Amino acid sequence: MDSILVQGKSRLCGAVKIQGSKNAVLPILAASLLTKDCSFFENCPKISDVYQMIDILKFFGCEIHWEEKGLYVDSAKASPRNLPEDKAGNMRSTIFLLGALLGAHKSACISRVGGCVIGERSINYHVSALEKMGTIFSWEEGQMLAWTEGLIGADITLPSPSVGATENVILASVLARGVTHVRGCAREPEIVSLCEYLRLCGAKIQGEGTNTIRIQGVEMLHGMHFVIPPDRIVAGTYLFATVATGGNVFLQNAPWRELYAPLAIAEQMGAVYNCSEEGIYIQGPERPKAVPAIVTGPYPEFPTDLQSVALVANCVADGCCKIVETIFENRFRILEELQKMDAQIVEVSAMCAQICGVEKLKGSVVEAKELRGGAALVVAGLCAKGSTTIRNTSFLYRGYENILRDLRELGARVASV
Ligand code: EPU
């Protein structure tokens, strides 16, 4: 079943619990290779990217099983093996294995790095940083081979704040000889979570959450119990779904401190909200007001992963909105699908789109092309008159544990078909 049927229009009402974070857990699972020990990850999200990472870790020799509250990973018997393409699949996060395997075992062989087709997604920052730490790379028949006689601390300046490159350097440096300084690094909360886990395991890291991180290499790390934090992008998806549908929703566990920019946009659109340690209560307006502009950027700016769903909310808002995407160049592939639903897209260039809101969208048959755009199309279906079929929705399970269950709990009429 690869399609989702949405019966519109729906006003979301009720409470939904926010799952564990995809982008926090994936580098943390890779980090468990550095411990040669057991770790337990409470609140681990049951999403396809996690299942794929589990398969890869098992391939390297980790013993893994689910328990009621989370995932148990024992890396004691792990060793580096060539990761074939069918195992690496289409997941961007295989790149984290590079830093973790080099740190733990001095070599890595990875077939290719996938991920959603939202941009070129080069890995040049990862490669040059690891080279600076003493890694030698070669490419043979589509495989990337990396080895080192032993990683050494280095002074690394990233050309721009890449989340993955920051995480990879952290993974590589926690067991390296000497001190590593990473400057110009990304400040995303998922980086902070990775450092919190590694520090519990015995790593010496300072400065995460700022643009300079200092890592003092240590001899060894031990395993730990770690609670995976709630997913700010899933929370943000339901936040904008509430704004777009004029709903009334409690986002239980939503990490409001990490959602400053999205909440500010939701407020400008006419929503009212209340944040507490339990989560975010949000009430959408009768009809949202368009914001003049949304510009994506590295954290703490507006996240690129919430751009599509915020765009959808503006498609039904009163007024016009300019969306400027500064991170990934292919995020606007959703626009042609939204046009099938009668969205009024006034102007589009590579990184910028101008949309004017319509009173309601029209139900149609559309196609998901990537994870976040796919989730945004489901939200568009909630705002549309009649039924909308979103095809190719297997992407959604990469990041959303059960978007249909969550939306049904909020009163939506959605089904997989
Ligand atoms: N970049 C380079 N060279 C590099 C690395 C990055 O040019 O070596 C460029 C990218 O092409 C992009 C920009 O730098 O234009 C930022 O990319 P970044 O490395 O920060 O992204 P990422 O690590 O590949 C993570 C998330 C993405 C999220 C971005 C931005 C994970 C597993 N993925 O990707 O999440 O959009 O950061 O916040 O953490 C998603 O969850 O749907 C998703 C795509």
Q: pLDDT tier at 89 (50, 70, 90 boundaries)?
A: low
Q: pLDDT tier at 329 (50, 70, 90 boundaries)?
A: confident
Instruction: Respond yes or no on whether the N-terminal peptide bond of residue 289 is cis (omega within 30° of 0).
Output: no
Cβ-contact 193, 24 below 8 angstroms? yes
Q: Which of 19, 22, 23 to mutate to test the pocket of ligand 1 (most atoms within 8 A of CB)?
A: 23
How many Å apart are CA 294 and CA 190, to the nearest integer?
22
Q: Which of 19, 48, 125, 162 to mutate to test the pocket of ligand 1 (most atoms within 8 A of CB)?
A: 162
Counting Cβ atoms within 10 Å, is residue 139 exposed (0-12), middle (13-18) or buried (19+)?
Answer: exposed
* AA identity, residue 30: A
Say whether pLDDT at 287 is over 80: yes
Nearest CA to ligand 1 atom 29: 163
Alpha helix positions (H), 160-252? 163-173, 189-200, 232-245
Counting Cβ atoms within 10 Å, is residue 126 exposed (0-12), middle (13-18) or buried (19+)?
Answer: buried
Tell how far the Cα of 318 is from the centroid of ligand 1, in angstroms: 32
Say whether pLDDT at 219 is over 80: yes
From residue 103, how far is each of 28, 91, 128, 375 by CA, in Å? 14, 21, 16, 36
Q: Which residues line the pocket of ligand 1, CB cutoff 6 A?
A: 22-23, 26, 92-93, 116, 119-126, 160, 162-165, 186, 190, 233, 303-305, 327-328, 371-372, 399
Could you confirm whether 116 is annotated as catalytic? yes
Nearest CA to ligand 1 atom 6: 162
How many Å apart are CA 264 and CA 134, to the nearest integer?
44
Tell how far the Cα of 122 is from the centroid of ligand 1, in angstroms: 9
Nearest CA to ligand 1 atom 24: 164
Angle at which helix 371-382 crosses helix 232-245, to 10 degrees, equals 20
Tell how far the Cα of 102 is from the centroid of ligand 1, in angstroms: 21
Q: Which of 50, 127, 163, 194 to mutate to test the pocket of ligand 1 (most atoms within 8 A of CB)?
A: 163
Residue 400 is predicted with a pLDDT of: 98
- Where does residue 150 fall: left (phi above 0), alpha (psi -120 to 50 degrees), or beta otherwise? left
Residue 90 is predicted with a pLDDT of: 67
3-state class (DSSP) for residue 63: strand
Q: What is the mean predicted confidence (pLDDT) over 396-405?
A: 96
pLDDT, tens digit (0-9, with 9 covering 90-100), for 6-34: 999 999 999 999 999 999 999 999 999 99
Tell how far the Cα of 86 is from the centroid of ligand 1, in angstroms: 22
Nearest CA to ligand 1 atom 19: 162
Residue 144 is predicted with a pLDDT of: 86
How many Å apart are CA 35 and CA 27, to the nearest integer?
13
Alpha helix positions (H), 269-344? 307-315, 334-340
Tell how far the Cα of 6 is from the centroid of ligand 1, in angstroms: 30
Q: Which of 116, 121, 130, 170 to mutate to test the pocket of ligand 1 (most atoms within 8 A of CB)?
A: 121
In ligand 1, the atom with minimum distance to the C-alpha of 370 is: 42
Q: What is the mean predicted confidence (pLDDT) over 373-397?
A: 97
Tell how far the Cα of 163 is from the centroid of ligand 1, in angstroms: 6
Tell how far the Cα of 121 is from the centroid of ligand 1, in angstroms: 7
Residue 125 is predicted with a pLDDT of: 95
Tell me if the pTM is above 0.95.
yes
